[in-house]
């Protein structure tokens, strides 16, 4: 019985393991690989909650462990990714990957703007949000502020778009210094804003009770199929808009 209750914690540790690998790739500037492992960690983060509910294996340890894992996968990783994007936008890449293990440890002469470190504010804002989430009793059936996994998907979509869906217009927007700094500021704000966002947790499968969730998921699927990675920022925006509409129409009703 005790072993069964450790299954969600094991899945959470897989989230942390994936996040650690993502950090290594992000530091090396291999952002698509960092995004892939961070995404894997987010998948594990989703399934540890499902496992805890299915096995009735809730625990204070699991809650704290989940936040610690998220602090890496959905905190450190997006912060480093934004740092790398800002570094590329302002000047030379910070990390030189020569293909040789010994030479690969050589760094540039820091001929970059220190403004790049501003991207790490995403890590700080994520950690603050996770700590606040653990003591906020209002966030049992909905979220206050953008969840860290959703914010991570937003940040990780940027290098994926540059890598797999490049175009002159999109690239010029994403690589723009001001745009990246604004995205960082907006990201930090949304993580800790007093904005009520609906959770994609289905207590029942009925359409009437979950109409907003079903419509949102169908739209997300359609956008991902047609726009691929470019759909992710649009989906995050839709998530906020849907939540605002839902909260306005159901004031006083738990979502």
**Which pairing describes strands 196-198 and 142-144: parallel, antiparallel, or unpaired?**
antiparallel
d(CA 186, CA 55): 38
Tell me: do 242 and 183 sit in the same domain: no
| pLDDT digit string, tens, across residues 148-162 | 999 999 999 999 999
In CATH, what number is assigned to the domain containing residue 136?
Answer: 1.20.120.1760
d(CA 153, CA 130): 16
Beta bridge partners of 198: 142
Tell me: do 54 and 115 sit in the same domain: yes
Tell me: do 44 and 138 sit in the same domain: yes
Give the domain-ending residue among 176, 194, 212: 194
DSSP string of 160-219, one letter each residue: HHHHHS--HHHHHHHT-HHHHHHHHHHHHHHHHSS-EEE----SS--TTTTHHHHHHHHH
Tell me: do 190 and 177 sit in the same domain: yes
Give the number of other Cβ atoms within 10 Å of residue 31's Cβ.
24
Q: Which residue has the higher pLDDT, 167 or 21?
A: 21
Tell me: do 135 and 232 sit in the same domain: no
Domain containing residue 144: 4-194
Helix H or strand E encompassing 144: strand 142-144
Summarize the confidence of residues 180-196 as an average pLDDT.
95
Q: What are the backbone dihedrals phi and psi of residue 196, each rounded to the nearest 5 degrees, phi first?
A: -85, 120
Tell me: do 64 and 95 sit in the same domain: yes
Domain count, the chain: 2
d(CA 218, CA 207): 13
Helix/strand/coil (H/E/C) assignment for every residue in 48-110: HHHHHHHHCCCCHHHHHHHHHHHHHHHHHHHHHHHHHHHHHHHCCCCECCCCCCCHHHCECCC
Band the pLDDT of 53: cuts 50, 70, 90: confident
Tell me: do 57 and 122 sit in the same domain: yes
Q: Which residue has the higher pLDDT, 239 or 100?
A: 239
Give pTM, 2 decimals. 0.85
State residue 93's pLDDT score.
54
State residue 108's pLDDT score.
45
State residue 214's pLDDT score.
86
Tell me: do 67 and 106 sit in the same domain: yes
Give the domain-ending residue among 144, 171, 194: 194
**What residues contact 209, with CB distance under 8 A and at least 6 apart?**
203
Q: Which of 33-47, 67-81, 90-104, 124-138 has the lowest mean pLDDT?
A: 90-104
To the nearest whole percent, how much of the chain has pLDDT over 90?
56
Tell me: do 176 and 51 sit in the same domain: yes
Give the domain-ending residue among 179, 194, 209: 194
Task: Indicate the average pLDDT of the chain.
Answer: 85
d(CA 77, CA 11): 19
Q: Which residue has the higher pLDDT, 206 or 145?
A: 145
Residue 25 backbone class (left: φ over 0; alpha: ψ -120 to 50; beta: rest): alpha
Summarize the confidence of residues 202-221 as an average pLDDT.
77
State residue 233's pLDDT score.
95
Tell me: do 229 and 125 sit in the same domain: no
Tell me: do 219 and 95 sit in the same domain: no
Beta bridge partners of 142: 198
State residue 205's pLDDT score.
65
CA-closest candidate to residue 76, choices 20, 157, 144, 32: 20
């Amino acid at each position: 019985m005790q072993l069964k209750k450790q299954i969600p914690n094991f899945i959470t540790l897989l989230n942390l393991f994936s996040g650690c690998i993502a950090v290594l790739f992000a530091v090396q500037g291999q952002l698509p690989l960092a995004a892939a492992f961070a995404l894997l960690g987010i998948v594990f983060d989703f399934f540890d909650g499902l496992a805890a509910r299915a096995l009735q294996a809730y625990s204070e340890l699991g809650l704290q462990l989940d936040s610690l894992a998220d602090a890496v996968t959905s905190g450190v990783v997006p912060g480093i990714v934004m740092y790398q994007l800002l570094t590329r936008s302002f000047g030379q890449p910070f990390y030189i990957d020569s293909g040789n293990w010994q030479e690969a440890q050589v760094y540039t002469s820091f001929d970059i703007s220190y403004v790049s470190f501003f991207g790490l504010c995403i890590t700080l804002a994520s950690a603050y949000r996770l700590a606040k989430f653990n003591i906020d009793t209002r966030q049992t059936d909905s979220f206050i502020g953008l969840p860290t996994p959703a914010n991570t998907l937003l940040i990780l979509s940027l290098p994926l778009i540059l890598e797999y869906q490049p175009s002159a217009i999109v690239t010029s927007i994403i690589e723009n210094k001001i745009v990246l700094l604004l995205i960082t500021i907006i990201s930090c704000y949304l993580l800790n804003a007093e904005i009520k966002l609906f959770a994609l947790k289905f207590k029942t499968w009925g359409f009437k009770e979950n109409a907003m969730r079903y419509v949102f998921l169908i739209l997300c699927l359609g956008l991902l199929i047609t726009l691929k990675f470019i759909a992710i920022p649009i989906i995050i925006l839709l998530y906020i808009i849907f939540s605002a509409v839902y909260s306005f129409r159901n004031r006083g009703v738990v979502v």
